[in-house]
Amino acid sequence: MRQRVKMAALLAASVLLAACASGGKKDSGMGIRTLDCTVVEREQSAPGSSGTSRSYASTGDYYMVFEAKEGEATSRYRLQVNRTQWFRFPEGSRVRITLNNNILTDIRSIE
């Protein structure tokens, strides 16, 4: 009987410790966020440089670097965009981006 009580106490203690260990700080990059940004750079990689051996099947990857003011801090994001977005928003464009788990889902011009 004593052995069962000890095992129950040990099990309860291990469950309690596991619960405390997993209660860390939540990642602020998760979820949906909308940021007002400025396009500061546009980058394009050469066709076939994205790790594929079929260089004729790709037009390369397009990236934009956005700068956003978040409170007192200024943040920079380098995000992959499609070809249309890359040509539509030159450097200096004011845009509103929507991120879902730090993945770009939408870019809109701010008037």
- Which of the pair, 59 or 58, is modelled with greater confidence? 59
What's the total number of domains in the chain? 1
Is residue 49 domain-resident?
yes
Domain around 49: 32-109
Per residue in 8-28, pLDDT (tens digit) is: 555 555 554 455 555 555 556
The answer to whether position 23 is within a domain reads: no
Instruction: Kindly state whether residue 78 falls inside one of the protein's structural domains.
Output: yes
Q: Are strands 94-100 and 32-44 parallel, antiparallel or unpaired?
A: antiparallel
Residue 74 domain flag: yes
Q: Evaluate whether residue 22 is within a structural domain.
A: no
CATH of the domain at 64: 2.40.50.660
- Look at 59 and 89; give whichever has higher pLDDT: 89
- Determine, yes or no, domain membership for 7: no
CA atoms within 13 A on the CB side of 31: 6
pTM, two decimal places: 0.64
Question: Would you say residue 77 lies in a domain?
Answer: yes
